[in-house]
Amino acid sequence: MPIDREPESAGCPLYPFQRPRLSLPTPLRLVLLGATGSIGQQTIDLIRRHPDRLQLAAVSCQGRVEELAALLAEVAAVQPDAPLPLIAVTDAKARERAAAVPGWAPRLLSAGPRGLVEAVTEAQAPSCLVNGLVGAAGLGPTLAGAERGLRIALANKESLVVGGDLVARAVRRGGAEVLPVDSEHAAIAQCLSGRHGAEVERLVLTASGGPFRTTPAAELAGVTREQVLNHPTWRMGPKITVDSATLMNKGLEVIEAHWLFGLPYDRIDVVVHPGSIVHSLVEFVDGALLAQLGTPDMRIPLQYAIAGEIHWPLAGGRLDLLGMGPLVFEAPDPERFPCLRLAREAGLAGGTAPVILNAANEIAVAALLAGRLRYVDIPGIIADTLARLPRGPVDDLSMALDADARARTEAAVLVDVRAAAGR
């Protein structure tokens, strides 16, 4: 296979294999979206550890105002002279509570999705957007960050699932850079740093297998919500934890990897690795295989992306090579994890198919968390929504949002039908 080929994809890869990284001033001024979530809290921890390197320019939360106030107080303790960041509270009622917090009213942005975009566009001299939002709501701010030419530390994989081509075009227009925060894609980035895309043969994403890796498929109909949320290795938000149990998270990551690294879907594989020690691998055209290993600590890939692919010091657990035991890899079971197949098929179809897939999954997961849907019903809701809705192109944000809204409406109807049948 010739080494001078270019990766095959719908466009240029978002990940710039060899490039001069953005030259950014110190401290790096962060726009942190989803500050009270898992990624947000770990970003705040990094600011506490590196108060001379990182500073907040804007933050967002949905409704956990009191938690956000506590996090900002932690930042103020290590940066007493830093100004209060701009604050977006997307829930309208929670925003009213936020307005009563001393000193916050002049810094508050609009409620709803508009406030998330304002956090990016109105922040003073931002360096890096940390997008820790969950779901398709992250696309608008990602596009705004790309147009503004920011470094985007992307934990919101749905931005690329729903609008991969839109993000790619915005990145090219704005001169931005996208660096992945997902541990799997960050692992691939560390293996690829400084290399040419033409050297790459295949990407291998690892999956823990979640709580039901060894559960017989026939027993999955009886699993409880609590069992679904009991992930064996990672501690994440509830939506991502459910996606990890169904392996939809890995399916979305396959689509994300396609847009990030520019490889076609038949050169992006998934293996189950229950130890969560090998975070992903890259196979090169000469057969060499590189892997990134480490403890399951999301601060490592998060810090690597924020810093522009530089390894800053980070105190924490270190991998015990002598005590970690054997490295086990398995093929994912298609019967137990149909969501992985659905995601790959949607990615191959392109256009609105990934938008529909993602929206239907978000509705189904929310219904599961609300106790209205069984775990085993999630793939059926997604498949039926994909089958019922027409496909089309996604040429701009409004088309993506329209397809998203239609898919959510259809999936919600299907959930109501299944919930009624289960009573």
Task: Output the domain CATH number for residue 363.
Answer: 1.10.1740.10
Q: Among 56, 370, 15, 99, which residue's Cα sits nearest to residue 225?
A: 370
Say if 62 falls within a structural domain: no
Say if 394 falls within a structural domain: yes
Q: Are 368 and 378 in contact (CB under 8 A)?
A: yes
Res 232: pLDDT:
66
Residue 325 backbone phi and psi in degrees, to 5: 80, -175
Say if 178 falls within a structural domain: no
Say if 61 falls within a structural domain: no
Q: Which residues of the chain fall short of a pLDDT of 70?
A: 1-11, 20, 232-236, 423
Say if 391 falls within a structural domain: yes
Residues paired with 89 in a beta bridge: 61
Res 162: pLDDT:
94
- Please tell me the total number of residues recorded for the chain in this structure: 423
Say if 274 falls within a structural domain: no
Say if 370 falls within a structural domain: yes
Q: How many domains are there within the chain? A: 1
Say if 387 falls within a structural domain: yes
Evaluated on CA atoms 336, 382, 362, 167, the torsion sign reads positive
DSSP reduced 3-state for 175: coil
Q: Find the domain containing 358 and state its range.
A: 338-422
Q: Among 231, 219, 256, 230, which residue's Cα sits nearest to residue 357?
A: 256
Res 11: pLDDT:
47
DSSP reduced 3-state for 111: coil
Res 3: pLDDT:
34
Res 233: pLDDT:
65
Segments in 320-396 forming alpha helices (H): 338-349, 353-369, 378-388
